[in-house]
Amino acid sequence: MRHQKKTVRLGRKAEHRKALLANQVCSLIEHQRIKTTLAKAKAVRPLAEKMVTLGKNGSIHARRTAFSALRHKDAVKKLFDEIAPRSTERNGGYTRIVRLGQRKSDSASMAFIEWVDAAVVVEETPTEEKKAKKKEPKAEPKQKETKREEPETKEKEAPAAEEPKKKRRWFGRKSGEEK
Instruction: Report the C-alpha gap between 123 and 93 in whole angstroms.
Output: 24
Is 118 in contact with 48 (CB distance < 8 Å)? no
Per the confidence metrics, is the pTM higher than 0.85?
Answer: no
Closest CA to 67 of 28, 115, 20, 22: 22
Question: Which of 110, 115, 91 has the alpha carbon at shortest distance from 36?
Answer: 110
Chosen CATH of 14-115 out of 3.30.1330.120, 3.40.50.300, 3.30.420.40, 3.90.1030.10? 3.90.1030.10
pLDDT at 104: 95
Reading the chain (179 residues) residue by residue, the pLDDT tens digits are 989 988 899 999 999 999 999 999 999 999 999 999 999 999 999 999 999 999 999 999 999 999 999 999 999 999 999 999 999 999 999 999 999 999 999 999 999 999 999 876 556 666 666 666 666 666 666 666 666 666 665 555 555 666 666 665 666 555 655 55
